[in-house]
Amino acid sequence: MRGVIVDCVLYRRGRRTERPQDFSAALREARSSADTFLWIGLYEPTEAEFDQVTRDFGLHPLAVEDSLHAHQRPKLEVYADSLFLVLKPVAYDETADALSTGELMVFVGDSFVLTVRHGAANPLGSVRERLEESPDVLRHGPTAVMYAVSDTVVDQYLDVAATLHTALGELEAGVFAKDARVGTGTANRIYEFKRRALEFRRATVPLTDPVARLTGAGVPFVHKDARLFFRDVADHLSRVNEQVEAIDRLLTDILSAYLAQMGVRQNDDMRKISAWAAMFAVPTAIAGVYGMNFEHMPELHWVWGYPATLLLMVTICVVLFRIFKRRDWF
């Protein structure tokens, strides 16, 4: 069990105390004091490893199942003994040009906070350090931890959205550059970017309702003074969702414009091919007729018949070339 416990700390009057060896005893101690709570952080626990936590904390089986099996949507569930919040932290690696998402479950109950993390994206380390530097905030208990975690995750969304906007600008400039080549590579880049935007959207948009619920009354285990702070989180999340919508619309416009541009270039190529084919068709037809070698064909026995025929071919080709050139087919 120790392998999956990232940290287990008792906080008394907003300050970190000892790291208990037995979290069951620590939970009893926290519940015996009004100004103390226990914060346990777990990383990808198995069902057997999570079983003791489930019994001691009285967690609901449905919430436990969601915590053990990742791939949950952001949501807020209210149970008799706890509040269960699911978040999806997102990180963008500019070097690898990849978007990575994790899952973060937060249980808040009577004198305890339990966080369960899945995936590589990890905002909890900075959250714990920042909170421990602000004991006045930690004095509000488990609600302060839930707010800080939510605020950090949403602030990361803002950073990722800004990075995606920058990357999207570079993609747009590359797609519509004068020397840009039309091919499947560019379309693949656009679709790949759209896939990342969709993955980002799946993390941010479903979180709107849970945060909105935390700003209102009637949610247990949430201090009434914390509603104002959750409103700030809701405001930041609204900005993120607006940027996500803008990114999605711009990607759709870029893809549509690129496909139209590709169609125009293909039409231009077809016009050039058709023009060259027309120019070669005329001498081919004349040569085919005279190649039949019938005895009574016009000018067949004339001395100047052969050069005259060649001159006719060249003349027709030049006339066609000038016509196609004037129509900008070349």
Q: Do 200 and 236 form a contact (C-beta atoms < 8 A)? A: no
Q: Which of 27, 49, 173, 218 is nearest to 113 (CA)?
A: 27
Tell me the three state secondary structure of residue 15: strand
DSSP assignment of 75-100:
EEEE-SSEEEEEE--EEEETTTTEEE
Output the pTM of the full model: 0.77
Report residue 9 as tokens: 């700390």
Would you identify the CATH topology of the domain 265-326? Methane Monooxygenase Hydroxylase; Chain G, domain 1 (1.20.58)
Does pLDDT of 92 surpass 70?
yes
191 contact partners, CB below 8 Å, separation of at least 6 = 255
| Residue 203 · residue 101 · CB < 8 Å | yes
How many other CB atoms are found less than 10 A from the CB of residue 25?
11
Q: What is the pLDDT of residues 23-80, one digit of tens each?
A: 788 888 888 888 889 998 888 888 887 888 888 888 888 888 888 887 889 999 999 8
pLDDT tens string 245-279: 999 888 888 888 887 777 777 777 677 777 777 77
**Residue 59 is which amino acid?**
L
What are the extents of the domains in the chain? 5-261, 265-326
Encode pLDDT of 96-142 as tens digits. Answer: 778 888 899 999 988 899 999 887 767 777 888 888 888 888 888 89
Q: Which CATH architecture has domain 5-261?
A: 2-Layer Sandwich (3.30)
C-alpha dihedral, 178 to 185 to 257 to 96, nearest 10°: -90
Residue 146 has pLDDT above 80, yes or no: yes
40 or 304, greater pLDDT: 40
